[in-house]
Structure formats: C-alpha cells, structure tokens
Amino acid sequence: MTTYSILIIAPLLFAFSVLFGGLRVRNVLTVVFVLFLAGVSLTNIFLVSSSTQILFSPLLHYLFILLDSIVLIYFLWQGVIKKHNLVTFFALLQMMLYAAVVFFSSSITSSDILIDEISSTMYLVINIVGGIIIVYALGYIESEKFSRFKKNGFIALLFFFLSIMNFIVSTNNIEIFFLLFELTTLCSYILIAYHGDEVSSENALKALWINQIGGVAILIALIVSITQYDTVYFDMLINNINELYLLPIVFLTIAAFVKGASIPFDKWLLGAMVAPTPVSAMLHSATMVKIAPYLMLKLAPAMSGFVSLSITLIGTFVFFSASLLALSKDYFKEILGLSTIALLALMMALAAIGTKEATTACLVLIVFHAISKALLFLQAAILEKSFNLKYVNDINGLINHSPFVVLFIVVGFASLTLPPFGAFVAKFMAIESIANEIGNNPLYVLALIFIALGSVFLTLLYFKVLTKLLAKDVSQEKEIHVDIPKLFTVPSFALLALLVMGVYVLYEKEFLTTAQVFVPVVLIAVVPLLFATLLFKKAHRVKEYHCGEKEEPQLNMYYFEIARSYKMAITVVATVLILVLILGAML
C-alpha cells in the first residue's frame, strides 16, 4: 500500500477499533495507533522524493457522489428538524449546485491523488500533532459524564477527522475536495454539539451554516471551472488558467477564508469553544482550519497581481484586527481562538504572495502554529479540569500550584511571538517578503503596516498573560502543588520536545545563528526563574502607619474595551475587501 492510502484508511480502521471495548484496551490501542501514524508520516518525508500521482476508477467516483449526496441530505435534515432556516437554505442551495456539477461533465482529466512536498509537510502536522491531541483526549474525555460508548465514540471521531484531513491534502480533484470539505464540516458539527446542551447545539448549527458558505463557494468554482476550463482538477485548472478570468480561483479562496474562520466568518470558530477542549485543540492546530493555508498554497501559482494583492491585504488586515481583539479579551480560550484567526490570516496572505521565501514562511508558520496552539489548548483544558479556571485574570498564583502548567503556557505563548521559535522567524520572513513586493505595487505598504502592528499586539498579549502567570501569591504561607494526570502532562512534554526540535531544524537550515538561539532561550528561562525564586519571596507588603498589618497585593491586567462600532467597522471592512476581490475577478 502507498503512504497516502495507509494514512487515509488506517485511521478509519483505528476509529472502528476504539469504538468498542473497555478503557484500558482503548487507551493502549490509541497510543499504538498514534505512534504508527507518526511513523508513517515521518517515513513519507524521508523516503518519498518525488510527487505521487494516482487516478481513481469510475466506480470510486460514483461512490464519492453517493457520499456527497448523503452528507447534503443530512445537512438538510438537520436544518429541518432543528428549524434552522440558514442551514436549510444553504443545504438546498448546495444540493442544486451539486446537481449542476454532476450534470456537467469535463473532458480534461488528471490524477485524483497528487502528493507533493506541501502534502508531506501537512501529513506531519496532521498525524503527529493531531495524534498527540488524541492521546491527551483519552484522559480528558474520562472526566466527562458520558456513557462508555460515547467516550469511545469521541476518540473514534478524532481518528475519523485525521483520515479526512490526510485525504484532503492528498487529492487533486476539486469534486473530491468538496466532499472532504463537507465531511470536515460534518465532523466539527457533531463534535461541537457533543455535550448535547442547548448552547452546544446552537454553536454547532452556527458552525454548520457558516461552513456551508464555503461549500457553496467551492461548487460555484467547480461550475465555472467546468464551463470555462473543462476540468475539475486543481493542476489542470492552474496550468490552463487565464489571468484575465480567475473567478474559480477566487471562489476557492473564499472557501479558504470560511474554513480559516477569517473575519467576517470568524464567529463559528469562536463558538466552537463550547466543545470539549480537545476538539478546540484539534480544530485550531492540527486539522480543519489548516485547510485554509493549504488551499492557498495550492492555488498560489494561478494568482495574478490583483488577486494576490487583494488576498494579501485581506489576510494582513485580519491579522492586525484579530490580534487587537485578542488583546482586549480575558477568556483564555477566546484569546487563543482570536490569535489563531490572526495567524491563519497571515498564513493565507503569505501563501498568496507566492514567492519561494513567502511560501517557506507560510509552511514554517503552519508547523510551529500547530504545535504551539496544541500545547496552549491542552493547558486550557488543564486549567478548566484541575483548577476550574477559564479567565486569565484568575490565574494569579498559579505558579504556586503547578509550575509545569505555567512553564507550558509561557513557552507556548513565547513560541508564537518571540525568537528563536518558528512563528517569529516566519513573521520576520513575512515582513521581508512583503517589503520586496512594494516595488511592484505601493499598496503592499498597507500590508506591511498591518503585519507590524499585529505582531506588536500579539507580543503585548504574551506579556499580558505572562504577568499573571508568574505572579506568586505572597499571602499563601504554604505552596500547594496540584498533581496533573500523566495523560495530560506526557502530551504536553511531547509538544514541548517538538518545539525544541523545530528550533534545531531552523538552526540547521541556517534560519537562525547561534546567538539568535542562545540569547532568547536564556532570557525566556531566566525571567520566570527570577519571578518564581527572587521577587517578593516570603515577603509581605506593609505600608507606613498600618501598625504592621500586612496588605494583600493584587496584580491586575490592563484592559481596554473595543467599542461595538469599531468591531462592526472591522467586519464591514473585511467584507468589503472580499467583495472587491470577487468583483475584480468578474470584471
């Protein structure tokens, strides 16, 4: 069997294997399966030197049409029984558009599977980072009040998610891509609603109808591609594209913006926070949203000056706006969600530029963001499960109770903002890539300004959280350490090790010098130690004339409220930019 078939079929078999059986058997099988998928992904990187191309039989294509029809009927059924007009409307619209796609036929054929270096990189992110999240989910789901079958079903769904993602980064067929796009929407819908309460159901329906917009965009792109270019294949469309008629590329780009939760489509990803936290980790880091930058990288060779510029401006504007919004928040998972939206938008902007340096920066950011966000979401789950903490302003004194959790959060945020980690390197490369484009079009200056401001906001966000994490509770006479289950700590240490290996790879590839690695690492290590061991150790603050009475110090974070009108303005600007992109491609 080829690598791609193993990575698609194996997780499906794994999902079925863990669905039935006891706790111990499920846990052992899951760890073995995760190690297997990681090994196959690594083997693919070292052994596959050229692209793999495979053509499916007509029978498989008919099977995909049947599966697509079943999924769309299910969406329609959910819209009807839940009495949700938007879900019903978009399901009907998709069914009509899909019928048109099936009715029209294309004569230009190509490979249904096309695996290249980008696909191989995505395999690593999906299976290694996603696998670590699944191992973490083993412990997390046991604390939920579900039946044994529903707990096992949760793990099975996560494996199913990995299978879909491995398939979607392997396919060259836009029709199959649409099916897989819809299946990711289906999985997220089920997982977001997993608690079964009203709030979960409401947010799951929101995720469903917003992602259906992306499905509609793909179907429109397919119809245009068939009628104008006579093909349903990515490579043939890109190779034969007319620079004066990029409408199918633009509509596929809209689908990427939807799946990447870019403003104004961001509400579904923020609403997904009601799901069990491993779902958030999976959606934000290893799967689902990574479809957005992957699709942009695939389409980049076909983008002309106007389309490339427009996407870059949209992406950098969303990066700036979401970073600003994150800085104003206190809910920990919402902060992580908005920073994800920001960095995904930056990835898409880099992919749209299309130069070698920008593409490399995009891939570096994809990998490091996946590891960092997985690490941070796992800590968010620990804060909720072990400490009943959801807000950053409540974590004062956490270092007294769990230094390792503080370490993981500090490193997680540092890896998104500071050297020597890949996110910092990627943002530095992004600034350089966009600066090189200013000679072609002065409007790239705006993108440069958005990146600079967004990077500053994310750095401020890091220090905002850091001040609360490292503040010791001096009024507490005895430090009480809370034991964290091994199924929580081991995945966190594994992700930490991946970050260290990532820095080593950057050093080996000469993205960083010895000083650029050594100095920041020393600072990142020393500052927390100073907070933890020296500042106000066993000391109490006593003001004059208080008769020796100690005063309880409180460290509060800085906050600012963004007016509703400004939030609306951000949404309007992002929407207008997307409409300009569509109209520009049509005219």
Amino acid sitting at position 253: T
pLDDT at 484 over 80: no
4-18, 173-187, 493-507, 511-525: least confidently modelled range: 511-525
Question: Residues 39, 95: contact at Cβ < 8 Å?
Answer: no
pLDDT at 2 over 70: yes
Among residues of the chain, what percentage have pLDDT more than 70? 89
pLDDT at 224 over 60: yes
Whether 13 is in a domain gets the answer no
pLDDT at 553 over 50: no
Mean pLDDT of 111-129: 89
By C-alpha distance, which of 403, 495, 439 is closest to 305? 439
pLDDT, tens digit, for every residue of 74-107? 999 999 999 999 999 999 999 999 999 998 877 7
Whether 66 is in a domain gets the answer no
pLDDT at 166 over 90: yes
d(Cα 277, Cα 285) in Å, to the nearest integer?
Answer: 12
Tokens (6 digits) for 75: 């969406």
pLDDT at 579 over 50: yes
pLDDT at 286 over 60: yes
More confident of the two residues 116 and 88:
88
Q: Is the peptide bond before 264 cis (omega within 30 degrees of 0)?
A: yes
Whether 236 is in a domain gets the answer no
Output DSSP code: residue 84. -
pLDDT tier for residue 560 given thresholds of 50, 70 and 90: low
- The whole-angstrom distance between residue 513's C-alpha and the CA centroid of its chain comes to 29
Whether 173 is in a domain gets the answer no
pLDDT, tens digit, for every residue of 40-76? 998 887 766 556 778 888 899 899 999 999 999 999 9
Whether 400 is in a domain gets the answer yes
Whether 498 is in a domain gets the answer yes
d(Cα 227, Cα 230) in Å, to the nearest integer?
Answer: 6
For 276, phi and psi rounded to 5 degrees?
-50, 140
Whether 585 is in a domain gets the answer yes
Q: Which domain holds residue 361?
A: 295-470+482-539+554-587
Q: What is the pLDDT of residue 531?
A: 55
pLDDT, tens digit, for every residue of 432-458? 888 888 888 899 999 999 999 998 888
| Buried/exposed 111-148: b ≥16 CB within 10 Å, e otherwise | bbbbbbebbbbbbbbbbbbbbbbbbbbbbbbeeeebee
Total domain count for the chain? 1
Whether 575 is in a domain gets the answer yes
